[in-house]
Structure 1
Amino acid sequence: MDVSQTLPTEEDNLTCLFISLHHPQQGALGMFRLLPLGPGAGGRLHPADEPVRFGRDQQACLFALADPRVSRKQLSIQAFRTAHSPYLQFTVQNLSLRGRMAVNGVSLVYLERAYVGDEALVKFGDYEMRIRVEQGEAQANFEVLLDVPEPWPPRVAAAVPSMVPVMETGLSGAPADLRSQGAMERPGPMESDETLCLM
């Protein structure tokens, strides 16, 4: 038996960055069409000493977003090591002069960084990026796996007032079982330009 077949290599236990991207209009605008997604895309092996950049510029960024509102270089994810841990750690840096970015609710201006930890939620513009780190022992490289899940249900749907005309009974056209459970209760109708509508 060949010894090289029995000994694990450094790449057998890579740290993996699972990155999930979302935009509320992703289905209509196609801003993720330049990303390596879909069947057979797999993960990307990336050197630990090079940043993973996201942005509009396909030459400067490993992962390009086809959106003119995104900066040429929007953000980078950088691996680093400390003396106190055998594992790769990661930071997210805002590379955009134009816009702010938030990591786990903490706002970052241009060139500021935030620690990722095991998981982080990054927001910039209308984008959300969820980063999850699965630790491995490899030091020279890590793997990046991208995912763009189906569009999430719109968050504002429940907050948008119904524009269904109010019938003579004063009740909207909601099913009777929902009205009886109080799920559709709102303040009474209010007049606006001689047309009744629910607020």
Structure 2
Amino acid sequence: MSVSQSQTIETEEDLLPCLHMRLYHPQQSHRNLYGLLPLDTRSRHAADDPLTLGRDGSTCTFAILDPRVSRKQLALHAYRTPHCADTLFTIQNLSRRGQLSVNSSALGFLEKTELPDKALVRFGHYELLIEREFGEAQASFEVGFEVLAVPPSRETCLCTPTGTAVTDTGSGSCVLMSYDMRGPSECAYTPGS
């Protein structure tokens, strides 16, 4: 094995990137929507295989038990760039029936966009807060699902890639992160201003 090969092989010590996926649905306490999801645990996923979420447990990586969710709702694709050591992700809408929004930017069928480090994703009545945790490993990443008791839109202030504030409810000030090619930067935002 050459030196360059040995440097690219993942070891157990490599810290895996992780996507923390926090779900909310207004009727989740009355229905078993998340019975097929590995809640409160991390699962490993190959970086070269798209991670899919939808109603069909036989074709999707993770399934939600809800007939109103599309058979294939969304896909997350891992990728890397020559100028960044981090594993990055895009999100793609796989639903023909409905839009998917990422920080209030709507995606139609098969449209995709870069997934920010922190994103509020909506489809139907679902809110999915996705936060990326950095790691060194390249061949795989982890995914952790959790159920939220309140909608993340009530507690989340986000910026779009252009720095525009995204917030639905809430009051007071918050510090927002804006993402561009140079990396994250803060932008101040006070609701109503």
Confirm or deny a common fold (TM above 0.5). yes
Q: Does 1:36 align with 2:35?
A: no
1:143 alignment counterpart: 142
Specify the SS of the correspondent of 1:27: coil
Query: Which structure's CA Rg is the greater one?
Result: 1
Could you say if the C-alpha distance between residues 16 and 106 of structure 1 is closer, same or farther in structure 2, counting changes exceeding 3 Å? same
Cα contact 2:39–2:144 (8 A) shared by 1? no
Q: What is the Cα deviation at residue 37 of structure 1?
A: 1.7
For residues 36 and 99 of structure 1, what CA distance do their matches in structure 2 show?
Answer: 25
Q: Does 1:92 align with 2:94?
A: no
2:175 alignment counterpart: none
Q: What is the Cα deviation at residue 12 of structure 1?
A: 2.7
Could you say if the C-alpha distance between residues 25 and 12 of structure 1 is closer, same or farther in structure 2, counting changes exceeding 3 Å? same
Letter of the 1:23 counterpart: H
Could you say if the C-alpha distance between residues 152 and 113 of structure 1 is closer, same or farther in structure 2, counting changes exceeding 3 Å? closer
Could you say if the C-alpha distance between residues 136 and 31 of structure 1 is closer, same or farther in structure 2, counting changes exceeding 3 Å? same
Higher helix share: 1
Could you say if the C-alpha distance between residues 26 and 151 of structure 1 is closer, same or farther in structure 2, counting changes exceeding 3 Å? farther
User: Residues 111-122 of structure 1 correspond to what in structure 2 (within 5 A)?
Assistant: 111-122=110-121
1:9 alignment counterpart: 11
Cα contact 2:50–2:75 (8 A) shared by 1? yes
Q: What is the Cα deviation at residue 149 of structure 1?
A: 2.1
Letter of the 1:137 counterpart: E
User: Residues 105-116 of structure 1 correspond to what in structure 2 (within 5 A)?
Assistant: 105-116=104-115
| CA offset digits 1:40-65 (Å, max 9, x no partner) | xx211100001111100001111101
1:27 alignment counterpart: 29
Cα contact 1:16–1:134 (8 A) shared by 2? yes
Cα contact 1:10–1:137 (8 A) shared by 2? no
For residues 91 and 104 of structure 1, what CA distance do their matches in structure 2 show?
Answer: 13
- TM-score relative to the length of structure 2: 0.71
Question: What runs of 5+ residues in structure 2 fail to find an aligned partner?
Answer: 1-9, 155-193
| CA offset digits 1:134-155 (Å, max 9, x no partner) | 11111100000111122559x8
1:46 alignment counterpart: 45
Higher strand share: 2
2:129 alignment counterpart: 130
- TM-score relative to the length of structure 1: 0.68
1:67 alignment counterpart: 66
Could you say if the C-alpha distance between residues 100 and 70 of structure 1 is closer, same or farther in structure 2, counting changes exceeding 3 Å? same
Specify the SS of the correspondent of 2:39: coil
Cα contact 1:18–1:133 (8 A) shared by 2? yes
Specify the SS of the correspondent of 1:12: coil
**Quick one: percent identity of the two aligned structures?**
51
| CA offset digits 1:48-84 (Å, max 9, x no partner) | 0011111000011111010001110000111011111
For residues 18 and 64 of structure 2, what CA distance do their matches in structure 1 show?
Answer: 21
For residues 77 and 58 of structure 1, what CA distance do their matches in structure 2 show?
Answer: 16
